[in-house]
Structure 1
């Protein structure tokens, strides 16, 4: 695999296992996450699996998940 970077085509990230939440809806409106070999986390749009991926450090991902669990983004829910 090439060195992953933000905006890289998710299709070029060979060997990673993409997963999505069981809360995702049947129409596929969700994001998928994958752990990269170096420990970072990639995110892609499930409706565009070959589109760009965003790559985050483990620390950034941890901060985001904690904020979601803590309700910091609840005002964005429809």
Structure 2
């Protein structure tokens, strides 16, 4: 994770909370910002890409490590 990335740790929360926290972070973030979301709810695997497509943000990375999903998304410029 780059030092300029915004981290949203939503582990321990069930959907839709991780996606809602991601949305709020993106609303508050400057244009071009990158936000990393950590979630452990398996539904985030579906919800986050669906949200990103509808919101016009780009999913740069989606990784599942030991049950923790990590999404890196970028707010459009």
Q: TM-score range by the shorter chain?
A: 0.3 to 0.5
As a proportion of its length, which structure holds more helix?
2
Normalization by structure 1: what TM-score? 0.32
Task: Answer with 1 or 2: which has the greater Rg.
Answer: 1
As a proportion of its length, which structure holds more strand?
2
Which one scores higher on RCO, CA 8 angstroms, separation ≥ 6? 2
